[in-house]
Amino acid sequence: MLPTLALLALIQLPDSGPVFDGRQHQLHVRIPRVDTTVVVDGVLDEPVWQRAARLVGFSEYQPVDSRPAEEPTEVLVWYSPTAIYFGIRAREVHGDLVHATHADRDNIDADDYVQILLDTYNDRRRAFLFGVNPFGVQQDGVRIDAYAGGAGGTSGGTSISALNVLNGNVDLNPDFIFQSRGRLVPGGYDVEIRIPFKSLRYAGGKVQSWGLNVLRRVQHSGYQDSWAPAIRASASFINQSGWIDSLTDLRRGLVLDLTPVVTDRINGDTTGGGYRYQTGRAGAGEIQLGLDAHYGVTPNLSLDGTVKPDFSQVEADVGQVTLNQRFALFYPEKRPFFLDGLELLDSPNQLIYTRRIVSPDAGAKLAGKVGPWTIATIVSSDSTSESATGSHPLFGITRLRYDLGPTSNLGFVGTTKEDGGQFSRLLDLDAHIVHNRIYFIELQGVATWTHDTTGFHRGTLMQATWDRTGRDWGFHLNATGIAPDFQAAAGFVNRTGIVNLSYFNRFTGYGERGALLETVSSFQTISRVWSYDGFGRQAAVEGSESVNLQGTLRGWWQPNVSLQRNFYRFDPTSPGYLGTPYGSYRVRATSVPTDTTTVPFAVPAMLDNLFTLGAGLTTPTWRQFTGTASWSYGAVANFDEAARGTAMSLSGEVDLRPTPAVRIAAQYSRLTIHRRDGSWFSSEDIPRLKVEYQATRSIFFRVVGQYTTLRSDALLDPASGDTLIVAGAVVGPSTSNELRVDWLFSYRPSPGTLIYLGYGASCSAFDAACAVGRQRSRTEDGFFAKLSYLFGL
């Protein structure tokens, strides 16, 4: 094992440039401008690297902040007229423990890696993220502080920002063009990076000042180090970054990218009897031609257009348990046209969700920043297949933000969906105000106007949030009211007609470095939900209290245990099976199956004291293995029968990396529900297996198999055990099974230039023959080909 001082001497160059020590708060960096180029090969041997500015003095950020980093890291940085260059020398004091694989783009979370954060607008709100593992495999995206209401890249719902600030709200969907190469060296690894200015948006002007931070993840310990000494007691992580000062005369040149896309599909299904194939989208033999265009209007403003964009869904969405779910589930955006600049559309309560534009024919997008204004707007027409009137639905989406001070802002959202004579329109005003460094207040008011086949409707949404992100103590207090007629046709608001009050509290303790228990956090949550019309006059219709204990043990073991209590009130208007109100349920005597006499269903007033115990464990990230598992058991509401039940939930994932080029991910989710008398009611199982082989940096093979089986018993009256009649019919036992297998060959030398060849099949039973193209139990399948080429002008 090499001593730390020897490693530090090893990574320092004899004629090195100016040194900027993060722990000494030397955070204003001046980097040399050199009119030259280098070969990006991971070998930092060109003379220009000796003149580069040197970033040293990293501090630990996770799991405990404000400690000197254990592993020495040095980052060299300089720029030419057309690009900024980074050289990374990352060393290990604990021996040969570097984790590195030949992974697909963005898939380096199990490796050691370094992330460069460039806040090119210097607004301390968002930053471009450029990550690399020890082989130079790339990861890129955007890191944001303020919102978790992602327009497509992150899950919906209200953020618990006391957690998000600590862990980072990162969207890895955008892809940027940059060059990187890395190599393992004695005692660590070196990486060389070139980021062209053409790949960035930044403020205009001859002299630039950018925000800068560098993060390093060390997998054998689980630690994350930061060059800028970030602390956890802050409402903003990005606001704690350093600066690159006095960048001058940056030359982007013409930023015009044209990406023609050719796709073809051959789809087969059982429609019309037998098994038939149909090619193309509109008819037999049709090849789909599309075009994406990107134009840098100014360094800070870009214009994008698309014609016939491909969905780029080359594997099935990860299965989510749908059993006993009352509301729609969220699935992320995947289409390249929508992904670029997607973070600029984020808003509280997810008022913008780009997957609402299901099958667009064409679209245009303007995004960027002008002075204190952040701008993002989309206009797109959708296919007639998504219309209620037979026309082409037209979407208009605009998101504006105005900077207030260093971290606060005002926001505006305007959306419309015009469909023939029908429409759905929305206007929003929101504010995010940071005060006293560790607190923020978020306010939002939204109005919607909808005209559909049922008439004209007005709706509102109001929200107020107060958050404290402290090192040892944090809280998140939220109040939200959503009117019954609120409709966000371009957003993802999956529950309306409610008022919700919730309080989240966190206490965190820290152990000494090397102690068995490095951190322990206790989370307490209280939530109450009222019907919108009954708020202030009636009792809450549901609520919960929970306590969760999470720990980080030495080596990055992460156990957790939780206890939760829930209650639910029912009334005749509450939605039950497939949204049918309980008041329309009827009961028929099971003992006389031929008797058509029915009586009204006695809707229970309340299910109380539904206690659930949960536990989970995540292993350290070893070189060849990572695992996580969670379990819960307790009383639940069986919403189909409006009855008390018992549920057991189990989920787990194992990631195997037997070689640097092979990755195997096995996932399993199971939920079972039993009635109060112990009899079985329903179960859902979803095993999923993904195998990936990275043949070269550009060539990638993948196969994904997912099997979903859902079984339910007949609906019975919980009081008598007799048959329930819902919507005039008996709901009998049901079973559904689906095996989905997707194969993919990918050649992607750079973002925008790629070849995809794929095959996917769905089967009505677990049938291995279905996965290789035989019909047997197959319900649908399809061959898929995509070719695109990026022309950068």
pLDDT digits (tens, 9 = 90+) for 583-640: 999 999 877 766 778 899 999 889 999 999 999 999 999 999 999 999 999 999 999 9
Residues 625-650 pLDDT 10s: 999 999 999 999 999 999 999 999 99
Residues 197-247 pLDDT 10s: 999 999 888 899 999 999 999 999 999 999 999 998 898 999 999 999 999
Q: What pLDDT, on the 0 to 100 scale, is given for residue 94?
A: 86
**Domain presence at residue 103:** yes
Residue 606, classified by CB atoms within 10 Å of its CB into exposed (0-12), middle (13-18) or buried (19+), is: exposed
**Domain presence at residue 122:** yes
3-class secondary structure, 6: helix
pTM here?
0.88
Q: What pLDDT, on the 0 to 100 scale, is given for residue 165?
A: 46
Q: What pLDDT, on the 0 to 100 scale, is given for residue 324?
A: 52
**Domain presence at residue 528:** no
Q: Compute CA distances 601 → 83, 531, 591, 722, whole Å.
A: 71, 22, 17, 10
Decide if 425 contacts 448 (C-beta within 8 A): yes
Is the omega angle on the peptide bond into residue 604 within 30 degrees of 0, that is, cis? no
Q: Which domain covers residue 36, as residue numbers?
A: 4-248
**Domain presence at residue 409:** no
Question: How do the residues of the chain divide into helix, strand and coil, expressed in percent and rounded to 5?
Answer: 5, 55, 40
β-strands 28-30, 242-248 pairing: parallel
**Domain presence at residue 592:** no
Burial 300-322 (b: 16+ CB within 10 A, else e): bbbbbbbbbbbebebbbeebebe
- The overall average pLDDT reported for the chain is 88
Read off the DSSP letter of residue 714: P
At 455, list the tokens: 């008439």
Decide if 245 contacts 29 (C-beta within 8 A): yes
**Domain presence at residue 219:** yes
Name the band, by pLDDT with cuts 50, 70 and 90, for residue 179: very high
**Domain presence at residue 53:** yes
Decide if 450 contacts 456 (C-beta within 8 A): yes
Decide if 29 contacts 77 (C-beta within 8 A): yes
| Radius of gyration over every alpha carbon of the chain, rounded to an integer in angstroms | 28
Beta strands in 249-287 (DSSP E): 256-269, 276-279
Number of domains within the chain? 1
**Domain presence at residue 52:** yes
Name the band, by pLDDT with cuts 50, 70 and 90, for residue 499: very high
Got the DSSP string for 402-441? EEETTTEEEEEEEEEEEETTEEEEEEEEEEEEEETTTEEE
- Rounded to whole angstroms, the Cα distance separating 108 from 223 reads 15
Given the structure tokens 């940085």, which residue do they identify?
Answer: 77
In degrees, to the nearest 5, what angle opens at C-alpha 314 toward C-alphas 310 and 319?
A: 120
Count of CA atoms in the C-beta half-sphere (13 A) of 84: 23
pLDDT above 90: residue 282: no
Question: Domain containing 120 — which CATH number?
Answer: 2.60.40.1190
